[in-house]
Structure 1
Amino acid sequence: MELLLAMFLLVLTVFVAMAFYYEHPKAEIPHGFSQRRKLYFFHYVLNFGFGLAKVLEKLGITSEVYFLRAAMDGIPPLKDKHLFIRDLRFEKVKVRIYQPKIPTTGERRGIVYLHGGVGQFGSIRAYERTCRYFARKSNSVVVSVGYRLAPEHPYPTQFEDCLTATIHFMRTAQDYGVDPSRIIICGDSSGGTLTAAVAQALVNRRDLPKLRAQILIYPFLQCMDFNLPSYQQNHGVPILLKERTLALGLKYFNKDLSIMDGIFNGCHIPEDLQLKYQKWVNPDYIPQEFKTRGYKPRKRFNSFSKELYTLVKSMLDPFFSPLLAEDSVIAKLPEAFILTCELDVLRDDGLLYKKRLEDHGIKVTWCHLEEGFHGTVFLALCGELVAFRSGNKGLEKIVNFLRLM
């Protein structure tokens, strides 16, 4: 029996190894990166996980999405003697609240945290360390939102849950010892997308206090142009490869991956919208210093496919592509902290959003991590084996910003 089990595990390992070598491109990490070997190692471990998830789904053991969710959740941390931690529901949305035990005079600031995971992965448990860290280090009350995930709950359920939870907290903030005028909304990756979208949805609400600030950590902000300088330069940099970015987005919307090439070539945008959006999404607005690692301009207009546009036009909605919101909305947004990473395909999304906010007189605190890559802030609290110096620096900058709010 033990021999059979060992043989099965061996065959499975070979199968997975073949899967991730054939299906995943080799990582392309710049030579100047100081923790290059460590990032290579993490890249191959991650690809092994993706490959194993595919194999387990084909064998009927578990679905790919469930396996990846479990892997991202990881091992929960031990109890925290410095925080009161409670699981509640805001309306029908699961939340976890972290309140410092240290006495304070007056009311604290509140942080609504929206986790990443492309609407399919991530959870309150996966971001337990992140939310505990911000609560302790900034002496804030943190609300971690456990929004429902796709594919069980299709888009825009995720946005709707985040908006519902945020509004509920804004209305009841004082019940948790929070000053309603000091509520900050924060998120990383697709959580940054949700953060930007929720902040936009609240700009005209007169029945609620104004958000104090928004914190966007390497956010995805537009589904128009996948050939910006950062996409060209970092297409092979872990962990968010260029193809993986769009593939995960299409899975989120339950679309077939066969349309990827058309989107990469810009065939999903009609000419009138290209003319409109290029006011906001334009490589000409990316500072020259971010093009020195290489950039080849693409022709502005490609062959438009009405069929493709019909399939993906919901991905151009500001709920999913906040960079495409109207100027009248952008002009009313709260102060922002935007974190970008040099080695991230989403770098230029953050740079373009920074420009739009500043053009409308919105104060922006910008943190750029020269050796940062997508996911580095999340990994900083997941143990020394996967923590990188850039992530620690990012956490420090975020906490410094919070303490000023």
Structure 2
Amino acid sequence: MELLLAIFLAVFTGIVAIAFYYEHPKAEIPHGISERQKLYVLHYIMNFGFGLAAFLEKVGIISEVHLLRVIMETVPPLKDPHLLIKDSSFERVKVRIYHPKTSNNSQRRGILYFHGGVGRFGSIQAYERTCRYFCRNTNSVVVSVGYRLAPEYPFPTQFEDCLTAAVHFLRTAQDHGVDPSRVVICGDSSGGTLTAAVAQALVNRRDLPKLRAQILIYPFLQCVDLDLPSYQQNDKIPILLKERALVLGLKYINKDLNAIQELFKGCHVSEDLRLKYQKWVSPDFIPHEFKTRGYKPSQRYLPLKEMCEQAETMFDPVFSPLLAEDSVVAQLPETFILTCEFDVLRDDGLLYKKRLEDHGIKVTWCHLQEGFHGAVFLALLGIFGFRSGTKGLEKIVNFLRLM
């Protein structure tokens, strides 16, 4: 028995060592984040998870993406006696619907939630706490969308599923006790990307009620400039390190991972596109106070023809909603944007905020000064919660109560 235990410990230690060999990027956690030690621990755990997943895939035990999905769903919440929860489907798309049990003679607000996970992870189950929280605290009917994931279902299946769910919900809102004029779509991280893309796809639909609002929680919105101030300042800050962000994004759309450094240099953007997009994507549009932690203007590199051809998908507004035409942006609904100071994607949110406001769209902006990517999702995970994430949830709830 002791021999078996010793062998098990030796094997486990070896797996840990190999996991960290495959995935152990260094972190830089600034003093602006008050709960620094907790974030260090979280970074350590995430590195182990990514490393272990990479190792187990390499030895043929389980694929990296499947193990990471399992990890995200490890601790399901307890039953909630205050909510009615049922699984259903909107056409081909799986959904979970949350109803408050409290009596309400009038039709409620409806919230359609698109989870994060870079189109490859995340699920209804992983976001159970988030959707319950919004249902309880806003007295809304919440629909969590279980869109299909890559690589089994390649991009843009995720967008197509979310759009299908949104169209179905807008058409059948009254069947769920929802006022069709009070439907809000919401998502975090890549779910925020999907939210923005779905809102854009709906602007010209005359056969559907208009969305009441969209909520974008630290969304990814563009891949024209991957060297904006937030990318430079936060490249080593957990949980979304700069290189990890791009690796996950490229895996999502099944692109070559060997081109990362050229992408950071902007070699994937042709001169024609650079001229077109510079009116929307430029560090000049980032307010000065967001450059004080350090910013060095990017060196200009010549575009590489082969990379420009391969990058065509990356400029599709479905993947990069910030690149939608003005005629689309001008019709978008009222918007809530949440950004985090210590997030590589911070400036995507700031640039989209400017575009919306330039077109007269009402924007409520919440900036978490101590926040980092993922803080809102973590807020409801007990010991992994951070004060900045809790503040973000409260701001979102306050916004929703006005809808």
1:347: Cα distance to partner?
0.3
Aligned to 1:261: 261
1:87: Cα distance to partner?
0.5
**TM-score relative to the length of structure 2:** 0.98
1:116: Cα distance to partner?
0.2
1:22: Cα distance to partner?
6.1
1:8: Cα distance to partner?
3.9
1:6: Cα distance to partner?
4.0
Aligned with 2:301: secondary structure?
Answer: coil
Aligned with 1:183: secondary structure?
Answer: strand
Question: How many angstroms apart in 1 are the aligned matches of 2:269 and 2:8?
Answer: 48
Question: How many angstroms apart in 1 are the aligned matches of 2:2 and 2:254?
Answer: 41
Question: How many angstroms apart in 2 are the aligned matches of 1:399 and 1:180?
Answer: 20
1:77: Cα distance to partner?
1.1
1:5: Cα distance to partner?
5.3
Aligned to 1:105: 105
**Number of residue pairs matched by the alignment:** 403
1:286: Cα distance to partner?
0.2
Aligned to 1:398: 396
What is the letter of the counterpart of residue 378 of structure 2? L
Q: Does 1:185 align with 2:170?
A: no
Aligned with 1:55: secondary structure?
Answer: helix
Aligned to 2:371: 372
Aligned with 2:77: secondary structure?
Answer: coil
Aligned to 1:120: 120
Aligned to 2:284: 284
1:2: Cα distance to partner?
5.9
What is the letter of the counterpart of residue 208 of structure 2? L
- The answer as to whether partners of 2:18 and 2:52 remain within 8 angstroms in 1 is no
- The answer as to whether partners of 1:203 and 1:329 remain within 8 angstroms in 2 is yes
How do residues 328-343 of structure 1 correspond to structure 2 at under 5 angstroms? Answer: 328-343=327-342
Aligned to 1:214: 214
Aligned to 1:363: 362
Aligned to 1:348: 347
How do residues 306-321 of structure 1 correspond to structure 2 at under 5 angstroms? Answer: 306-321=305-320
Question: How many angstroms apart in 2 are the aligned matches of 1:257 and 1:157?
Answer: 21
1:365-391, Cα deviation, whole Å (9 max, x unpaired): 0000000000000000111x2100000
Aligned to 1:172: 172
1:316: Cα distance to partner?
1.1
Judged with a 3 Å threshold, the aligned counterparts in structure 2 of structure 1 residues 352 and 241 are, in CA distance, closer, same or farther, namely same
What is the letter of the counterpart of residue 352 of structure 1? L
What is the letter of the counterpart of residue 288 of structure 2? Q
- The answer as to whether partners of 2:281 and 2:351 remain within 8 angstroms in 1 is yes
What is the letter of the counterpart of residue 207 of structure 1? D
1:248: Cα distance to partner?
0.2
**TM-score relative to the length of structure 1:** 0.97
| Segment of structure 1 superposing worse, 227-236 or 246-255 | 246-255
Question: How many angstroms apart in 2 are the aligned matches of 1:131 and 1:263?
Answer: 35
| Segment of structure 1 superposing worse, 27-36 or 226-235 | 27-36
1:57: Cα distance to partner?
1.3
1:18: Cα distance to partner?
4.6
Q: Which runs of 5+ in 1 are unaligned?
A: none
What is the letter of the counterpart of residue 100 of structure 1? P
- The answer as to whether partners of 1:17 and 1:48 remain within 8 angstroms in 2 is no
Aligned with 1:337: secondary structure?
Answer: strand
Judged with a 3 Å threshold, the aligned counterparts in structure 2 of structure 1 residues 52 and 23 are, in CA distance, closer, same or farther, namely closer
Q: Does 1:153 align with 2:153?
A: yes
Judged with a 3 Å threshold, the aligned counterparts in structure 2 of structure 1 residues 84 and 22 are, in CA distance, closer, same or farther, namely closer
Q: Does 1:79 align with 2:109?
A: no
1:33: Cα distance to partner?
2.1
1:274-307, Cα deviation, whole Å (9 max, x unpaired): 01111101000000000000000013x4221121
Question: How many angstroms apart in 1 are the aligned matches of 2:243 and 2:213?
Answer: 32
Question: How many angstroms apart in 1 are the aligned matches of 2:288 and 2:208?
Answer: 41
| Segment of structure 1 superposing worse, 107-116 or 45-54 | 45-54
Question: How many angstroms apart in 2 are the aligned matches of 1:80 and 1:310?
Answer: 51
Aligned with 1:40: secondary structure?
Answer: helix
- The answer as to whether partners of 2:25 and 2:47 remain within 8 angstroms in 1 is no
| Segment of structure 1 superposing worse, 23-32 or 46-55 | 23-32
1:223: Cα distance to partner?
1.0
Aligned with 1:214: secondary structure?
Answer: strand
- The answer as to whether partners of 1:43 and 1:239 remain within 8 angstroms in 2 is yes
- The answer as to whether partners of 2:18 and 2:55 remain within 8 angstroms in 1 is no
Aligned to 2:325: 326
What is the alpha-carbon root mean square deviation over aligned residues? 1.2
How do residues 12-51 of structure 1 correspond to structure 2 at under 5 angstroms? Answer: 12-20=12-20, 23-51=23-51
Identity %: 75
Question: How many angstroms apart in 1 are the aligned matches of 2:6 and 2:232?
Answer: 43
Question: How many angstroms apart in 2 are the aligned matches of 1:197 and 1:290?
Answer: 26
Aligned to 1:237: 237
Judged with a 3 Å threshold, the aligned counterparts in structure 2 of structure 1 residues 6 and 49 are, in CA distance, closer, same or farther, namely farther
| Segment of structure 1 superposing worse, 71-80 or 201-210 | 71-80
- The answer as to whether partners of 2:33 and 2:371 remain within 8 angstroms in 1 is no
- The answer as to whether partners of 1:27 and 1:236 remain within 8 angstroms in 2 is yes
Q: Which runs of 5+ in 2 are unaligned?
A: none
Q: Which runs of 4+ in 1 moved over 4 A?
A: none
Aligned to 1:66: 66
Aligned to 2:386: 388
Question: How many angstroms apart in 2 are the aligned matches of 1:196 and 1:6?
Answer: 53
Judged with a 3 Å threshold, the aligned counterparts in structure 2 of structure 1 residues 382 and 274 are, in CA distance, closer, same or farther, namely same
Question: How many angstroms apart in 2 are the aligned matches of 1:260 and 1:375?
Answer: 23
- The answer as to whether partners of 2:195 and 2:214 remain within 8 angstroms in 1 is yes
